[in-house]
Amino acid sequence: MKQLRSVFSGASVASKNLQWYGSSRCFSNKSTKSSSIDISGVYPPIPTPFTSNGQIDYVKLQENFHTWNASDFAGYVVMGSNGEAVSLKEDEKLDLVRNVKKMSKPTSTIIAGLGLPTTEQTIEICNRVAEEKTANAALIVSPSFYKGQMNELVLRKFYEDVADNSKLPIIVYSVPANTNLDLSSSLVTALAQHPNIIGLKDSGGDIAKISEIVYNVPKDFQVLAGSAGFMLPALLMGCVGGICALANVLGDQVCLLYRLFKDNDLKKAVALQQSLISPNYMVTRRFGVPGLKAAMDLKQGLYGGVCRAPLLSLNDVDEKVLVQTFAKCGYPLVR
């Protein structure tokens, strides 16, 4: 985090009279993709609320959307890592994305996490969602159970086979913390040539690699930062937005960060980014989904609730650390 703060300080000093490379990578209508959509902006990867007996709680989800829809989100990611997608049955997934489509604003772009362990399963659920017209794009995580065999040839074939047969445009999802697979810039660059692979969500946070990817891919291939913790540096290097867990709790602040970047107000953007680093760490790497849900429970107008087993709710000691961290950065959570 100290290294990031150093980068931000340097950016603040250098921000005057500079035209950032990222500002020139705006979405163009002249697309070479077969089914491109504009995925720029901020997206919260929404948690899935559960009742005390483990069912999806659609009443609480609707209440959350009442709060979320007041923020300037470009759309929503449903059934991502923070949505506990791996804990959901197929019928639950289909029902969940239907409800998210209904609850979100008509202008919202819906990205559904539809990556499954096999190519066939992934294609099948992508096409079921496409037929129901409940999502605009599919976020596909790399299959990782047979990690030892997941070399670049296998992963490239997986993504290209899915893209060849999916009726939804595909966004590649690189999340090394969960899959222990770090997609190389050369692999992503190769995948970016496919007409139905429109973008990448990179949660690894390697800014040098993100920069290399942005530099090498076609102009209509859109890269999204996978965390609010490094969103500003990613935007500066050409990312078009972010899918950020912290946006579930601090949606207005994450959207403001994006807007300040677009307005080239780098001094304010740097200060805001620095204030978001520690809260973001609490709801991602430190405490994960239980931490995110705990933060939502402490935020007016939001519900986090329990996680689905085997995940456990945050204990009192960890919750205190989370609350203190948010407060120290200027974001009190107590209702």
Name residues whose C-beta falls within 8 Å of residue 102's C-beta, 6 or more positions apart in sequence.
Answer: none
173 is catalytic: yes
Does residue 223 contact residue 22 with C-beta atoms inside 8 Å?
no
SS3 (DSSP) at 306? coil
Euclidean distance between CA atoms 34 and 323, whole angstroms? 46
Euclidean distance between CA atoms 334 and 300, whole angstroms? 8
Q: Provide the residue type at 46 as one letter.
A: I
Find the catalytic residue in 60, 93, 101, 201.
201
SS3 (DSSP) at 319? helix
CA atoms within 13 A of residue 112's CA, in its CB half-sphere: 28
- 170 marked as binding residue: no
215 is catalytic: no
Euclidean distance between CA atoms 164 and 132, whole angstroms? 19
- Residue 241 has which token pair? 């937005």
Euclidean distance between CA atoms 157 and 122, whole angstroms? 13
**Alpha-helix runs per DSSP H in 182-221:** 185-191, 207-216
Find the catalytic residue in 173, 281, 303, 331.
173
Extract the annotated binding site for pyruvate: 243
Residues annotated catalytic, as ranges: 173, 201
